Every structure is written in structure tokens, then in C-alpha cells.
Amino acid sequence: MKILVTGAKGFVGKNLCSQLHNIQDQNVCWYNLPEPIEAIYEYDIDSTLEQLNAWCEDADFVFNLAGVNRPQNQEEFMQGNFGFASTLLGMLKKHSNTCPVMLSSSIQATLAGRFGTLEYGKSKRAGEELFFDYAKETGAKVFVYRFPNLFGKWCRPNYNSAIATFCNNIANDLPIQVNDRSVEMELLYIDDLVDEMISALRGEVHYCTFDGVETVPVLSNSQNPSNFSEHLYCYVPVVYKTTLGIIVDIIQECARAASNVGGINMIELPQGSLRYKLMTTYLSYLPKEKAIYNFKMNVDSRGSFTELFHTLNCGQVSINISKPGVTKGEHWHHSKWETFIVVSGHGLIQLRKEGTNEVWKYEVSGDNIQAIQILPGYTHNIINLSDTEDLVTVMYCNEIFNLNRPDTFFDLVEVKG
């Protein structure tokens, strides 16, 4: 399979091409494409029309992502969006190449509501009609996507994405401007878009029509779009509707968590959620000096203990370093419970249920990583058995340490005499 991507160096193009190369290099296998990717032709502003012509003759699928977003004058919208689409489709017709073609359009092409008079939307609408006419004339499949607000890594800030601008400015301690927190936004994350576009290589897309700016799904992948008399657009089903104010609040919360300001609290980031994707996007804009931060190490003659991460609802993770021959612990908890995982060195973990004499002993080593559960009501310790090496233990506790109510009570595990 030979794939042509126009606008390959733009935000969407760069993300798409990187994943296509991952597929080509067999670094990912979950897309189940019908045949291997033989070539990826990346057309952008520095390419030549001769290259475009050759690639149009050779391509088995075309992603047309090229377009103009911020021209110096309004006339360039039509030239850059409609004009280039005409050139591309003309070259495909010249070579009688009826391979499938995907068009990157915009929700502004609905010309509904506040988009009714925008030249950008008009140019995108003209490009859509050109593609639909091309499909009728040639019989080629066309997949026309109207994108809402896109966000994700590698998006250019201070250009046409508010999220990219907010993430970049907050990460770099620059001011942001929010004129109206109540503005509603529909968001599409770049990885979700790329997954949908790669599915299009298998002919598996989601079809829809539009009621104003609202997407109206009309059929499943298994239905035949030729049964519908009106234009069928394509859409990505994973989108998020929220307000500008909520977006800014989440990004600022992500910034505090990533910078370790005011503690080491990890915010909740359910996989697949908008919060998860905004955190991922924010981190991609961090400058070099913010990609590192210090922890507070509690150091004494026995070694050190450092709290790594606090979570809002799931306790904390710490790392404990014990010097050779050192014993730590010798205490128990009412309700707290822990998990000890030795990752380096050679040690002994012991537990004894309060009020009993039986001692459970677990010899552990970084050569065979295991988790030892430290049970409520059991006094416990950890002993470095080495004479030369530090013992390094990752420790999870189900609650964050509370100095006012530590729930920690001294008692030796092994009582002599």
C-alpha cells in the first residue's frame, strides 16, 4: 500500500505520518491493515508539483490535510483550500487513479451559527463540494471529515488552537487571556483522529450528516453509503464537549501536578478521559528546565525515605533506602496497610500479628522482584542483609501520611527473652 499525505508537516499530518511510519516499521500491529505499507509520500509546502504528480499516479490512498488557516488576506483561503484541492484531484484524474481520498475539512464549513460568514468556512465548503463532485464523476470513494477543535502534541501555539496556546503559555510561565469562560467547545484529540484515519485505510469510517453544527450519525460501518441520497460526511465518534473555563482549570491543575508545586499530588486522570488527554498535551509543551524537579529526602544515618507521589484517593508511593545492616520499621498500624517491593539489594521483611508470637519471614532481593503485603495489625520491619549494598524498596501505602494522626505504633517484631 502506497499512501500520499498532503500537509504532512502540519499538526495532523505530522501525527498521522509518525504513526504510519510506526506501522510500516512494524512497531504497532493493532490496526490490522489489509496489506503492508510500502511507501509514505509526504507532500508539504517545500515539495514540488512534479513530486505531487508522480505520487498521485502511484498512490493507493490519499489523505488531503493541506490547507490554509491564517493567511495574510482573505482571498488566500479559497486559493489555499479550494485551489489546492482542485490541483490534487486534477492530478488523480489525469492518471485515472480512483483510489480513496480523505479530505480534512472543518466544522466551520457548516456555515451555521457564528460560522455563517467566515471566509475560511466558505473555502472549506467549496472544497467539500469539489470532492463530492469528484466522487460522482469518477466513482472514487471520498471521506470528508469536518473537524471540531483539535488538540494534542505538536500543535502550534499562538496560531489557531486555544488549547495549544494555553498549554504552551502556562508551561512557559506566560500569561493567558480568557475573554469568556462560558464559551462552549467541542474537542477532538489527535490520537483519536489518527486512529480513525488509519481505520479509513480499511474502509472503516463513521458516516454522518449535519444539523447545523451538530453531528448526526446515520449508519454503521457495515452499511452502504450509496443508499443515501444526500452528502455523507465522516466523523470521529470520540469527542468532548465542555467550556473554555473548564479547559483552562484542568490545564492549570495539570500544571500544578506536573511541577510539584505545593506538594507531590497526582491528579485523577482516568484513561480515555478529557483530563487524561489534556495532561498529555500539557506535558508535551514543558521546557527543558521543567522536565525535572526535586523531592524532599528524609535522610539519617540509616539511609533515606522519600515520598514520591501522593494521589487524591489512593494513598502514596515512596522509596526507602536502607544502609548495610540497618533495620527499619518495628511498628504496626490500625488501618493503614502497605506493600513493600525490594528493587535492589538483599533484605528480610518480617511480620508478626499483634498479640501473637509467630513471625512471618520473607527473604527478598532485587534479583527476583516480589511484593510483600504489610497487613493491618501486624508489626513489621525490613532488614538489609547485605554488608556492602544499600537496600532499595518501593513502598506503597493506602493513605497519605498524616502527621496529626500517623496511625503508627512502635513494637519490636522479634521480642528477645
Active site residues: 120
The number of CA neighbours under 13 Å toward the Cβ of 31 is: 26
Residue 263, CA distances (Å) to 60, 290, 395 in order? 53, 15, 18
Rounded to whole angstroms, how far apart are CA atoms 323 and 367? 18
- How many other CB atoms are found less than 10 A from the CB of residue 267? 15
CA–chain centroid gap for 412, Å, is 48
Grid cell 514543558 in the structure block, residue: 286
Of the chain, the end-to-end C-alpha distance in Å amounts to 78
Do residues 220 and 132 touch, judged by C-beta distance below 8 A? no
